[in-house]
Amino acid sequence: KQEVTQIPAALSVPEGENLVLNCSFTDSAIYNLQWFRQDPGKGLTSLLLIQSSQREQTSGRLNASLDKSSGRSTLYIAASQPGDSATYLCALQTGANNLFFGTGTRLTVIP
């Protein structure tokens, strides 16, 4: 059974700092990995999708990496801003668009 762990559970950083969020998983037989953002009380917004054959994806200040052999992914956020404050969830897609989620990292960027 796929298990997804995200560390840390919560993180506070001063504005402008670069930061890394971690995601680990137990079963490397995945189709892809997605990072989502969730604002309080809201739905999920897809940030980056990495196909199983890829090693990383970039979008603006965000960079996500995938290492299937070690069962790890990281989300790197450069030059953090208060607007980046949210919960970040990683999710693995296995089979027919079914996602396994971690419990998320709650990020607070302090102005």
**Residue numbers of the site for other proteins (CB under 8 A)?**
4, 31-32, 34, 36, 41-46, 49, 51, 89, 91, 93, 95-104
Taking the complex as a whole, how short is the minimal distance between the CB of residue 37 and other proteins, in angstroms? 11
CB 109 within 8 Å of CB 18: no
Q: Is the Cβ of residue 64 or residue 91 nearer to other proteins in the bound state?
A: 91
Q: Is the Cβ of residue 70 or residue 103 nearer to other proteins in the bound state?
A: 103
Q: Is the Cβ of residue 18 or residue 45 nearer to other proteins in the bound state?
A: 45
Taking the complex as a whole, how short is the minimal distance between the CB of residue 27 and other proteins, in angstroms? 15
Q: Is 19 exposed, middle or buried (0-12, 13-18, 19+ CB in 10 A)?
A: middle
Using the Cα atoms of residue 108, residue 8, residue 17 and residue 35 in order, give the sign of their dihedral. negative
Q: Identify any residues that bridge with 44 across adjacent strands, giving them in sequence order.
A: 38
